[in-house]
Each structure stands twice: as C-alpha cells, then as structure tokens.
Structure 1
Amino acid sequence: MVKRLGLGGGRAALAATLLVAGGLLCGCTDSPPPAPTAAHGPAARVGSDTTPTPTPTPVPLDDQFEYLPPANTVLATGSFQDVTGRASGAVTVRVASDLKLDVELTGFSTSDESGVTIALSVDRFGPSAGAPTVPAVDLPLGVVYGAGGDTAFRIDTEGRRDRGDLSYFNSLEVVHEGGTVVAAAPLTWTVPDFYPGLRLVDSGPADYARGRVTDYRGRPASYEVWGNDNPGAVARRFGITLNQLLYLNPQVRRDSGLERDTRLNLSVDYR
C-alpha cells in the first residue's frame, strides 16, 4: 500500500499553456507558429449578419514553457546511490491524476529510524558534481520514519515561481536531523528543452545591468547583481527576453526587483 503525503496549495498552475504539450513531450522541436492569416471561405454578403471567424493569435514562443503533460506522464527517474547503506530505493516523478505532481519512492528503506526529511535539491552528484546550478532553495517534501517503504509526496504547483517546471532540481536528498545529507538520488528529467539553441552573449555593462559575469567552459554561467540592476535590463544585456531569463532563474519573481550581490544563472545547459 502506497502512503501519500500532500504538499499544500491550490489547483495546479501547469495548465496555463496547452498548445505545445504534445510536440514538446514527444521530443519534437516545433517550428515557430505561423503569422495570423485572414480567415478562409466565402466572403460575407452585403447586408448579411455572417462574419468571418477570426484566426487565433499564436502563443508567443517566449511564453510556451508552461505546459500540461497528460496524467501519469513520467517526468523524472532516479535511484539512491549511497555507499554507506543509509538509504536505498527508486524515485519517480510523474503527473498525478488531478494534474498535480507526485514524487514516488519505491522500495525505499533507510537505517535512520529517527526520521529523515525528503527534499528536492539543486545539488549535483555523480558525473555532474561541481557544475553550475540554479541558486534556488531546496523543496522539502515530507518526513519518512523507520524503514520507509513505498511513499508518494504530492506537490501542488499553483503559484510557484517555476510555473510547475521542476526540472532545475538535480536530485532527491535524504536529510538527517540537523541538515546532514545522508543519501541522494540524482534525477534524470524527460522535460523538454523549451528554448532549444538558446545562447547568451554578454554585450557588456549597461544601465541597470552592471553586474559581474562568471564564465564556465567559455560561456556566461552566472551573474552577480549590482546596485539597482533590474531583470529586464539584465536580459537585454545578454540578448534574451525577460521570460527566458526567468526560465533560467525560476527563483526570481517576475514582479520583483533584484537583490544586490545575489547570483543569477545564465547557463542553459546547467539550469
């Protein structure tokens, strides 16, 4: 029997943009939507109350990274890799029947009977350890006591800054009381690349975008906010849109400013 633990919130916010779900989930790269064209068919007669049906306005590509996968779609998988024997089991992240998200632990066991916290984290383990990460805080899901077993944690994505795209979390961690990570499961995501081919080029300091840039393997990787920098100006400095900057930095609120000395992610590969 699977134990299911909830993470509070309202209805899911994944449903904002449905138009590209099918193509994205199958791994296809959609071409840009066609420009609006006049409605086809016979022209309305003079004196008639019949009018042509207007062509819907295509959804801008910048807004297409909100998407709604079908229920039961597997978004990520992983397994605990712990040589000390503190935890074992498999991890699956999938779309639930109510279109929220489930983080499922299968065959999970832990030797820590005092209770451990299960949390999604941007920390990297294994071959990608040390690579850049999004500067976002962990997402605690719940506490598991004793031997564990099969458990599912429910996530309601409504109102989240990341719009329900959790693929910037690189692992699921088992955290002992006191904050020590005793085991981790690196996650492999099937969520598509919403901005394929996106490349950032630093055009240099500008008004409201005067922060310091750090490169990684020859490309801009992070940005240190300076003074009264604002997200729109920072995006323009690197030749991207505000939506693309927010995609790279799901921890940033659209309607807020940037706090001095905080760090932004500029890496598409290491989002």
Structure 2
Amino acid sequence: MIHGGMKAASAAACAATLLALVSGCTLLDAPAHPATRSATSSPDADPSANAQQLPNLLVAGQTIGTGQLKLVSHDPIPGTVTDHPLTGAVRIVVGEDHVLDVHIRPDDPAAVNLAGIQLMLTGKRHDGRPENIQDQNYYGVVTATTSTDGELVMRAPLDSPAAGDPTFLHSLEESPDGDARVFAVATLDWTLPPAYPGLAPLDHGSEANARGRTVLDGSTLAYYVPSEGDTLYQVSRRFGLTETQLVWLNPELLIGSPQPYLKYGIGVNLDPARR
C-alpha cells in the first residue's frame, strides 16, 4: 500500500560526517550540551513571515521535473515485494490545486502491482552530488490512479512552506511499505527557473549573534556552524542574505514548524547548489 509519511536522518550525525569529509575543513567538537533554540529574527519581525515570503514558482498544469525510476543495488529484502518493482519514466506535474502530481509511465504496465510498495519524494541525493548538511525531508506519494494514456498518477502533498520551490527534493525512492531499504530510485531533474538567480553568499566576518564558523569546500562557501546565541537575522546579515533567502537555502529548518530556527552546533547550508 502506498501511503504518506515523513522521516529524517539525524542532523547532528550528518553534520559531523559531512564536515569531516569536506576538503580543507576541520571537524568541530560536538557541543558540550544539547542543541538549543536561538532567537530567530530581528526584534520587530514576525519569524513566520520568512516562511510566508518564500518564493512560489508553481504554475498549474506545468511539468516541472522528470526522471527515470529504475532498480538500484540494495540489501536483501524478504518477501516478494521486489518481484514486482515499479519502474518507468517519471514526470512531476503541478496540479490545479498546486499540489504536485507524480506521473509514472510503467515499463511493464501488465506487471504493475503496488501492494506492499511505498514511494517517497526526498531530499536525499542518489546522483553523487554533495548532500545538504541539514535533515532530509521525506514526503509520501499517495492515491494512485491511472490516466487515459496509461500513466500512473499519484499525489504528493508537501506539507511545507517551502513547497513553492520543490527543487530541494532530489529523488523519488521506492521501498517496501514501512521499510527504509530502497530498491528503486529516480533522480529528479527540475526545469523550474532559479528562485534567486546569481545568489552567492559572502562572509563579511564574525559579529554579535553571528560568531559561528564557516566551512569551505575548496573555494565554495559551503556551510555555517552556529555558535550559541546566534540568530537567524544576524547570521543572514553576516553573509549578505535576507532571512528568507537563508531559509530558502535550508528548507529543512521548517520541518515540523513554520518558524525557522538555528541550533547551536548544527550546520546550515550556504551553497545554492547544495539546497
């Protein structure tokens, strides 16, 4: 059965691992105490306004992404679910209500059997490019129907203020229902225009409430690791960004809440290519 859901990898573990791997970087010691919320914005700002101001690039009826759902190597999976994998061409289409529709044209229409299979849109990459340092979003694909031309059509309701620019979702994963072992993947190629053309954060140096450390990948300003007391407002200013742009770079900051906040010691993304 296909159903909706969301899961997330450990941001702390992800941050530590990625920071260790990035060229020319020093692995920071883990915080001595649990991560805590910091103030998010300038004193007079409504923190949720950053989410409300995020760009919305969706136009009803447009195909905005494509991919090819195909088998990948995986750990052994008991049962018969991998005997009838769903593979085929994928299209992401904006529905009339601006909910994303996932269209799949099966390679073998006669063999389609969705029993025991779940499909998830996720921020996890399978294309070899660098992962975002933040938690990875997962959104379940639900309610399959068949179009008149033979495509399977499934809804992908993205419960996130960042859904107006879904290019932070890099893959469609197929796995057994209730099981994290992925056996088929489509890497998504988006055709949406850039929300912020030419966006290039620049470090203007440490200042009050923005005293964390930057991480470079070669010459690319990749991540920022907040210090205790850092605020979204001051960190944005340090890198010549608006608060909304920093949230756009890190849609995972909105997981579970329309009010984004930084966590001490947990890195945030600064590279548009890693969104």
Amino acid paired to 1:101: L
Aligned-residue Cα RMSD (Å) equals 3.2
SS of residue in 2 equivalent to 1:102:
strand
Percentage identity across aligned positions? 29
Amino acid paired to 2:261: G
Deviation track 1:40-68 (CA, whole Å, cap 9, x = no partner) reads xxxxxxxxxxxxxxxxxxxxxxx572234
SS of residue in 1 equivalent to 2:70:
coil
Provide the C-alpha distance between the structure 1 equivalents of 2:88 and 2:163, rounded to a whole number of angstroms: 28
SS of residue in 2 equivalent to 1:65:
coil
Amino acid paired to 1:187: L
Amino acid paired to 1:75: I
Superposition deviation, residue 143 in structure 1: 8.5
Higher helix share: 2
Q: How does 1:26-65 map to 2 (within 5 A)?
A: 65=55
Q: Which structure 1 residue ranges, 5 or more long, are not aligned?
A: 9-62
Q: How does 1:130-169 map to 2 (within 5 A)?
A: 130-133=129-132, 135=134, 136-142=136-142, 150-157=151-158, 160-169=160-169
Q: How does 1:187-266 map to 2 (within 5 A)?
A: 187-253=188-254, 255-266=259-270
Superposition deviation, residue 154 in structure 1: 1.8
Say whether the 8 Å CA contact 1:172–1:184 is kept in structure 2: yes
- TM-score, normalised on structure 1? 0.66
Provide the C-alpha distance between the structure 1 equivalents of 2:112 and 2:181, rounded to a whole number of angstroms: 15
Larger radius of gyration: 1
- TM-score, normalised on structure 2? 0.65
Say whether the 8 Å CA contact 1:134–1:168 is kept in structure 2: no
Amino acid paired to 1:199: A
Amino acid paired to 1:269: A
Say whether the 8 Å CA contact 1:161–1:251 is kept in structure 2: no
User: How has the CA–CA distance of structure 1 residues 99 and 113 changed in structure 2, closer, same or farther, with 3 Å as cutoff?
Assistant: closer
Greater relative CO, 1 or 2 (CA 8 Å, sep 6+):
2
Superposition deviation, residue 96 in structure 1: 1.1
Which residue in the other structure is 2:10 paired with?
Answer: none
Say whether the 8 Å CA contact 1:116–1:143 is kept in structure 2: no
Superposition deviation, residue 211 in structure 1: 2.1
Q: How does 1:181-192 map to 2 (within 5 A)?
A: 181-192=182-193
User: How has the CA–CA distance of structure 1 residues 238 and 205 changed in structure 2, closer, same or farther, with 3 Å as cutoff?
Assistant: same
